[in-house]
Amino acid sequence: MSGKRYTEEFKIAAVKQVTDRGHPAAEVAERLGVSIHSIYAWTKHYSVPEDERKVQDAQADEVKRLKAELKRVTEERDILRKAAAYFAKTSG
């Protein structure tokens, strides 16, 4: 995975070459130097109306934030459990 980031305008232009102009996705991917998987993912993403896409993006951001918070809270809980067990052992 190259880790390259493309602008939204670039992605939309690539999708339009496939959807509006009828170019094969493999050809567009090769010409632009991106993977065919990226073209298919962008096509799927940008085929949804913009309002729905914004809602989906907001929901995905919220899920990501909640997963990070859950991970942090779980780690805190585990630390507190270990501390409670340690103090129970040493004070008894």
Range of the domain at 70: 8-91
| 33 in any annotated domain | yes
How many other CB atoms are found less than 10 A from the CB of residue 32? 15
Q: What is the pLDDT at residue 50?
A: 87
The predicted-structure confidence for 35-63, as pLDDT tens digits, reads as follows 999 999 999 998 888 899 999 999 999 99
Residue entry with tokens 């090769």: 30
| Structure token digits, residue 8 | 């939204």
Q: What is the pLDDT at residue 13?
A: 94
Q: What is the pLDDT at residue 92?
A: 65
How many other CB atoms are found less than 10 A from the CB of residue 17? 19
| 76 in any annotated domain | yes
Contact call for residues 46 and 53 (beta carbons, < 8 A):
yes
| 64 in any annotated domain | yes
The predicted-structure confidence for 72-82, as pLDDT tens digits, reads as follows 999 999 999 99
Contact call for residues 36 and 26 (beta carbons, < 8 A):
yes
| 1 in any annotated domain | no
pTM greater than 0.85:
no
